[in-house]
A and B are shown apart, each in its own frame.
Chain A
Amino acid sequence: MNSFMLGRYLPLDAFLHKRDPRIKILCMIFFLVAVFMDTGYLGYLFLGILAILALVLSKLSPAIVFKAMRPMIMMLGFLLVINVLILQTGEPLFTLGPLTIYSGALLQTFYIAVRLILMITITTVLTVTTKPIDLTLGIEDLLAPFAILHFNPHTIAMILTLALRFIPTLLEETERIRKAQASRGVDLEEGSLKEKIMAIVSLIVPLFVASFQRAEDLADAMEARGYQPNRKRTRYRTLKIGFYDWLLLFVGLAVMVIYIWWSIVR
């Protein structure tokens, strides 16, 4: 459960927790754009400082980011191998049998690693400081302009909200079914391949049945309460943008503009 850090909300009540979700989403996008501008070491250094600042403003320890990073380490290793095999730019550093390793390969991998770390840090900051429900409200508002294209942002937001809402329920359900089947002698660790497949089937089938049942019940309950996706609805939670939110937006926008300009003049 604890390995599942990416995309989890932590109720810490820090500066960034109190900011408007729409502003935070926009700032994340600005930051990501800046990350993809080619501004050399110095640019990444400043972005790194900004990312650390964001961690401080959300009272997060780097350990949490490290946890969120862990699934990516494998991917980075894989990338390194591919880069080393393919890229032959820069100085040849040393030779291993038939393989010559160039500085370009290491440099390229390093760049990608830095970008990934920055991206993961900033998205983790967003999800850790924003309640899922606020996140979907924010997304809904930001998608509002697309309504002209006969595209209903509210439906998307509702789907996201429901999906997020049911993740913990599904995890709980999986655990319960796993235990129930373990009581009937299902052993996911030992046994032959055939037994293992049977074990997985014994988990998946009840999980599907329960999920469909739940979805149907939910649809009935929503309909019973008069939910209609295409009707206009008022909101219980309203989002308000305050002084610090404008400030944050300004800083975020400034960072992006500076980085775009920097990458052009460089």
Chain B
Amino acid sequence: MSIACKGLGHTYSPNTPMSFVALKDINLSIDDTKITAIIGATGSGKSTLIQHLNALLLPTEGTLEICGRVIEAGVKPKSLKSLRKQVGLVFQFPEYQLFEETVLDDVAFGPKNFGVNKDDAEASARYCLQLVGIQPSDYNKSPLELSGGQKRRAAIAGILALDPSILVLDEPTAGLDPAGVKRLMKLFYNYNRQHKKGVLMVTHDMEQVLNFCDDVVVLDHGQVLSYTSVKEFFLDTTLLNQLALPLPPVVDLIERLRKAGFAVKTDSLELDAVLEAVRRELKR
């Protein structure tokens, strides 16, 4: 199955002097069995796009098909709750949404809202807290007593506990320490590979895109600039130059060699493969 946007557009405050076109004519068919990165400059519409996926925002133009549902501009969709369970959305800085008395209660809050009974909700809360790496001794603390990184992880556990079939994350690792970032990225990777669930992730970190993602959507001023596999993306010199991003070391190496007049012929971005290609080129 896939997530299909057809001519999707979103205008904030339409028909007012403040109206602002944040997305226009988005046509995408995202494979929801993969990990897809959504990248683009600040203000390019990434957050706006992903809020459509669980119908927090509704398209003002076009349609969106997700999890067997069709959301059409101008048609008020019915009972969005089932969609919100299937598409788990983790907002940017999700730590602000913690409110229950204990960490465990807060994580169990989501499943309970979707009709899971108390015991099962707590069981899945424990499971998810353990997944994100929160110690059992912290389960009964107030969420406000946790450190910044722990809060973030608890909040992510709160969405994982819904057991969504598509997990959508808005800059989940922004402002975390390197060890915490790595841990979370591995968690999302496993969520996709072991549990066979789709993951969509907004990120600014090209290392994450290279090491953990399958496909990349590039947004620019509310439009799709490109949608390719990660490999194609990092080998597309023209696009990379246009985006002027800080590149991961391997890609940077290829780029620098190419600029120095040394063409590396490779279709893999593994360091060994790239070095092998360099060696081959040197022998010629």
Contact = CB atoms under 8 A, between A and B. Distances in A.
Interface of A: 1-2, 173, 176-177, 179-187, 195, 201-202, 205-206, 209-210
B99 A185 contact: no
B81 A185 contact: yes
Interface of B: 13, 16, 51, 54, 56, 81, 84-85, 88-91, 94, 96-99, 109-110, 113-114, 144, 158-159, 162
Given A2-B16, A185-B110, A180 B84 contact: no
Nearest to B18: A1
A202 B109 contact: yes
A187 to B, nearest CB: 6
A205 B99 contact: yes
A186 B113 contact: yes
A205 B99 CA distance: 6
A1 B20 CA distance: 14
Nearest to B79: A190
A179 B56 contact: yes
Contact of A210 (B56, B96, B162): B96
Nearest to A179: B56
B97 A180 contact: yes
Given A182-B84, A183-B84, 14 more contacts: A2-B16, A179-B56, A180-B91, A183-B56, A184-B97, A184-B158, A185-B81, A185-B84, A185-B162, A195-B113, A202-B99, A202-B109, A205-B99, A209-B99
Contact of A206 (B16, B51, B98): B98
B84 A177 contact: no
Given A185-B84, A185-B110, A186-B113, A180 B94 contact: yes
B180 to A, nearest CB: 20
Contacts of A187: 81, 113
B159 A183 contact: yes
B99 A206 contact: yes
Nearest to A186: B113
Given A183-B56, A183-B88, A183-B159, A1 B13 contact: yes
Contacts of A181: 97
22 contacts: A2-B16, A173-B96, A176-B91, A177-B97, A179-B56, A182-B56, A183-B54, A183-B90, A183-B91, A183-B159, A184-B110, A184-B113, A184-B159, A185-B85, A185-B113, A186-B113, A187-B81, A202-B97, A202-B99, A206-B97, A209-B144, A210-B96
Given A2-B16, A184-B162, A185-B81, A179 B91 contact: yes
